[in-house]
Structure 1
Amino acid sequence: MVRLPSAPLFRRFAYDRHGAVAMIFALSAVGLLGVTGLAMDFARGAKAKSALLAAADSAALAGARLVGTPAEREAAAKQVFEANLKQSDYDLSKVVMKPENIVKDGRNFGYRVSVQGELPTTLSRVLGFQELNVATFSEAIGVLTTPTEVVMALDTTYSMTGWKIATLKDAATRLIDDLRPLAYDADKLKFGIVPFGQYVNIGVSNRHKPWMNVPDDSSTTSTSCKMEKQVVSWTNCKKVWIPPVAAKPPGTCYNDGVPYSCGGSAAKAGYFQDQCEPVYGPDKEVCKTNTANQKWNGCAGSRNYPLNTRDDSYGTRIPGIMNVTCGTEILDLTTNSSQAKSRIMALNPNGETYIPAGLMWAWRMLSPQAPLENAATRSSSEPVRKFLILMTDGLNTKSPSYPAHTGSNGALSNQLLKEICQNIAKDKANAITIYSVAFDVSDVTTKNLLSTCALDTGGQFFDAKNSAEFLAAFAKIGMNIGELRLTK
């Protein structure tokens, strides 16, 4: 027989809440733990997203900076992105990076990196949330917002003939094409061209400038007369044997350091020749007219040392060199990129090498004071970025003989080049950054001079051994000049 509880016992059981309180507390604790976990995981997600954004920013900048194919830019971006992830405190193994090369007008313009993935949760799992979605993206493009001046001092000597001058024209015009789209305000970007060889052609239009010393073109005619014997007949003629002459092999001559065959002669067979004695008549006056022409073709010489290493004191004027030719005329700083490219395409290699002349005129072009005055003045309120690109394919083959450059003391020219570089580095008012490029140069001294010249101004030296490396060097210079910005 089963005994049923009495009525009071049923009533106590019906009103007893001790077990329910425990159950409610347990359920509430789970919910509270889940909500707390959500808050913690969302905070972790926000921090993880910040870490991803920093990694994406670094990757986008790395891809944008690299000069190369889309595959090479992608590899650089991924390498930087993965290196950043390894430094993260979060499990981002399920994150995927999607790179994209930004192209404008057929050229690399920037780089975009998109990132998406899942971050494993912790306490949120009690509510069924196993992962948090995280996504971000970054975009880096080149843009020129600060006034920028770029002057190219380009070696156009005889040794640049052929594939070298073709490569130079390609690289220099590409540089202009790469930079021009970055300047939304066309007036903020100027280009200047300084072709150089033994001299620099500054243009005949500068003849009467107060900083030039050039005589007027002239033509002087003179007549000289003298008495000469006149042959009226020949006598005592006879046959004379002329012995054979052996062939003479050609020798080696040099033009701008480039060797070529010269001289020599073919073998000549022996032969008989008539030889007679002259019979003279009375002397006769013979007059000759001589014309001496003096013409200036725009070629600038050097002031005496040390003024030929300094950009000042133009009360001592720059001498013009008469009766010599000196290649393509310089183009002073201009916003007209088409004009700059046309001047580059007109380059014609000829003559010997005197690098200090090209470097000095490029420096003058970037200085706002005379002799060339198209450059802007830098100030704290008006910042201007100034870049000088110096390229050559060989050592100095000429040196100053004052005012001309007809010497052959390469050591002297190297010393002058070194001093000019040092003076540019000291020119804090203009703060010029030099990029130097050695193009197929074997001379170690020249390469060391070019390297020091660039590094002392915060620039960079490129040792380009072939066309591909030369094009890459100019492309890299363009990327450095372009101000990369994170836009998104």
Structure 2
Amino acid sequence: MMSQFSMDAFFRLASRFRKQESGSTITMFAFAGVVLIGMAGAVIDYGRVTKARASLQAATDSAALAAARLPSKDTAQLRAAANKFFVANTDSIDGNNIEITDFAFQESTGTVTIDSSGVLDTSLMSVIGIKTMPFSAKSSAVKEVSGTVEMALVLDNTWSMSESAGSADSKITVLKAAAKSLVNTVLASGGSNVKIGIVPFADYVNVGTGNRGQSWISVPADYSETKTTTTPAVPYTCTTVSTKQVCTKGAPKTCTSYTDGVPSTYDCTPQTCTTQPVTPYQQCSGGTPEKTTTTTTNYKWFGCVYTRNSGTTLLLPDQTTTTLYKGIQQTSQTCLNPIVPLTTNKTTLTSAIDGLIINSGSYKPSTYIPDGMVWGVNLLSPAAPFAEGAAYDTANKLPRKALVLMTDGANTRTFNSDGSHTNASSTTQVTKANTDTSKVCAEAKAKKIEVFTVAFAVTDAAAKTMLQGCATDAEHYYDATNAAALAAAFQAIGQSLTSLRLSH
């Protein structure tokens, strides 16, 4: 509909012409011409402003969606992103002073609201005094989770995460920032409709000491072993020494050893030793009485569990309830941070991520991915060991279950027939660990769990192939070669688990 201003102006002009009863025939023709021009102008200019308004609405919608898509909650950053899209989509609009007039972001609802306007210079309607026609648009975009989401973050916290991520920060520091951003994005979009859990993994997985006594685990009581050792008496004796060892170092040499793929160097300069004669002398020793020594060794459960297996066969999640997980009695801990079950509490999750560690004293853990995947599925399962998850949906919509596996390297450990782990000393053992990882991935996908995999600065070709095959499809695999790529991968995963909709 033509604006009231345009219609009123047009009819006022027409009324003035009708009142000139003494006008000549020429005046009447002029009046008719003006009327015709005005009518034509109204049609043409109204069509132009209608088209401009529709284009402005589309540009405003795009800008609102672009801002809502960002994980940031900083209004200035969101407005900058919106303005970038707005400018790019308004270049061809017929009009002047096209701009965003108001921008607002409501963090509690995740809603971005944009007002915009422009002015159109009229063509034929200018003859009746209507020089410009304003037009405007308004749009609101909401970032939200569709239905319910349950997500398990299976995060590598092995010693190799101490290395640089191609920047001043270590890999574990970069991971913490990316993981917290992902948590913030998904939780902010879904509120109570989202549950997230965390499975840190390395040599073993820590299920939490609070689960001792649960029906799915077997943990013996902590215990101590006391040994008494008797050292016999050594008589005082003397011998005559007439030679000595003289050693000389060769050319300096440095050797390299590896812990979870991380190199460290040490001095391995060779020595040449010879025996040379010396003036004979007496060398005496002994004269010590019998000695009895008593030592006590304490064995404790720190939350670590063995791989659940039958001989050399890995037992998959939910495969059987008769074989229990076995707690590891140790003198010192060989698993790090405990699992965080599914929760809606952002503080619990971000605190756990901030607290991730990659070593404990001299203990520098290696990588065994199958255990991480097993416990990721366990976290999402509606049954024990953890039962916070809802029942599986064959369409994976209510709820939508997602597992995010992030690792920075290949498997460097293998499990033994008792479920314990040792360093993988052969290609065959590494291949076996990769195959077991793939089996758990296949089991997760068979349960319709959406599997995302992120290879963080992984250089091993076999490991990359395994991670690609583990993902739900090619779009669920991310090859993050550096810190920026890891952040982008986690951001993309967060966006894929949320949806955007225009609310106005």
Report TM bin, short chain.
0.7 to 0.9
Contact 2:199 2:372 in 1 (8 A): yes
Matched, 1:344 2:363: no
Q: State the superposition RMSD in angstroms.
A: 4.4
Matched, 1:437 2:454: yes
Shift in Å, 1:366 = 1.6
Q: How does 1:306-317 map to 2 (within 5 A)?
A: 307-317=314-324
Shift in Å, 1:178 = 4.5
Q: How does 1:178-193 map to 2 (within 5 A)?
A: 178-183=185-190, 186-193=191-198
Q: What is the DSSP-based 3-state SS (H/G/I as helix, E as strand, rest coil) of the residue aligned with 1:394?
A: coil
Shift in Å, 1:470 = 3.2
Q: How does 1:221-232 map to 2 (within 5 A)?
A: 221=226, 230-232=233-235
Q: Deviations over 1:201-244 (max 9, x none)?
A: 0112223222223333333446677xx87542314423432222
Contact 1:307 1:313 in 2 (8 A): no
Query: In the alignment, what sits opposite 1:38?
Result: 42
- 223, 237, 240: which is aligned to 1:237? 240
Question: Aligned partners of 2:286 and 2:370: how far apart in 1?
Answer: 61
Q: How does 1:113-262 map to 2 (within 5 A)?
A: 113-119=114-120, 124=125, 127-129=128-130, 131-144=132-145, 146-161=147-162, 163-183=170-190, 186-221=191-226, 230-246=233-249, 249-262=253-266
Shift in Å, 1:33 = 6.6
Shift in Å, 1:20 = 8.5
Q: Cα gap change, 1:233/1:220 in structure 2, threshold over 3 Å: closer, same or farther? A: closer
Q: How does 1:373-388 map to 2 (within 5 A)?
A: 373-377=387-391, 383-388=398-403
Q: Cα gap change, 1:39/1:378 in structure 2, threshold over 3 Å: closer, same or farther? A: farther
Q: Deviations over 1:36-72 (max 9, x none)?
A: 7535654564454234322321232234325689998
Question: Aligned partners of 1:101 and 1:309: how far apart in 2?
Answer: 51
Query: In the alignment, what sits opposite 2:386?
Result: 372
Segments of 5+ residues of structure 1 without an aligned counterpart are 1-18
Q: Cα gap change, 1:30/1:235 in structure 2, threshold over 3 Å: closer, same or farther? A: closer
Contact 1:77 1:99 in 2 (8 A): no
Contact 1:99 1:112 in 2 (8 A): no
Contact 2:152 2:404 in 1 (8 A): yes
Contact 1:450 1:461 in 2 (8 A): no
Q: Deviations over 1:66-106 (max 9, x none)?
A: 568999877865675567668x8xx636472438776678x
Shift in Å, 1:292 = 6.3
Shift in Å, 1:264 = 3.5
Matched, 1:361 2:375: yes
Question: Aligned partners of 2:345 and 2:76: how far apart in 1?
Answer: 34
Q: What is the DSSP-based 3-state SS (H/G/I as helix, E as strand, rest coil) of the residue aligned with 2:150?
A: strand
Matched, 1:62 2:66: yes
Contact 1:101 1:108 in 2 (8 A): no
Q: What is the DSSP-based 3-state SS (H/G/I as helix, E as strand, rest coil) of the residue aligned with 1:243?
A: strand
Q: Deviations over 1:377-418 (max 9, x none)?
A: 355999333333322222211122241221412222222222
- 401, 411, 425: which is aligned to 2:445? 425
Question: Aligned partners of 1:310 and 1:214: how far apart in 2?
Answer: 19
Q: Cα gap change, 1:99/1:365 in structure 2, threshold over 3 Å: closer, same or farther? A: farther
Matched, 1:404 2:425: no
Query: In the alignment, what sits opposite 2:98?
Result: 96
Query: In the alignment, what sits opposite 2:17?
Result: none
Question: Aligned partners of 1:481 and 1:138: how far apart in 2?
Answer: 23
Question: Aligned partners of 1:354 and 1:95: how far apart in 2?
Answer: 61
Question: Which amino acid is 1:404 matched to?
Answer: S
Q: What is the DSSP-based 3-state SS (H/G/I as helix, E as strand, rest coil) of the residue aligned with 2:415?
A: coil
Question: Which amino acid is 1:377 matched to?
Answer: A
Question: Aligned partners of 1:181 and 1:310: how far apart in 2?
Answer: 30
TM-score, length basis structure 1: 0.76
Question: Aligned partners of 1:218 and 1:232: how far apart in 2?
Answer: 39
Question: Aligned partners of 2:457 and 2:172: how far apart in 1?
Answer: 12
Question: Aligned partners of 1:339 and 1:75: how far apart in 2?
Answer: 32
Shift in Å, 1:459 = 3.3
Segments of 5+ residues of structure 2 without an aligned counterpart are 1-22, 164-169, 360-364
Contact 1:240 1:274 in 2 (8 A): no
Question: Which amino acid is 2:69 matched to?
Answer: R
Contact 2:49 2:120 in 1 (8 A): yes
Contact 1:67 1:73 in 2 (8 A): no
Contact 2:83 2:100 in 1 (8 A): no
Give me the identity figure in percent: 33
Question: Which amino acid is 1:390 matched to?
Answer: L
The answer to which of 121-130 and 186-195 deviates more is: 121-130
Question: Aligned partners of 1:131 and 1:254: how far apart in 2?
Answer: 75
Q: Cα gap change, 1:119/1:484 in structure 2, threshold over 3 Å: closer, same or farther? A: same
Shift in Å, 1:302 = 1.8
Query: In the alignment, what sits opposite 1:11?
Result: none
Question: Which amino acid is 2:235 matched to?
Answer: V
Contact 2:368 2:433 in 1 (8 A): yes
Contact 1:425 1:456 in 2 (8 A): no
Contact 2:110 2:143 in 1 (8 A): yes
Question: Aligned partners of 1:328 and 1:342: how far apart in 2?
Answer: 12
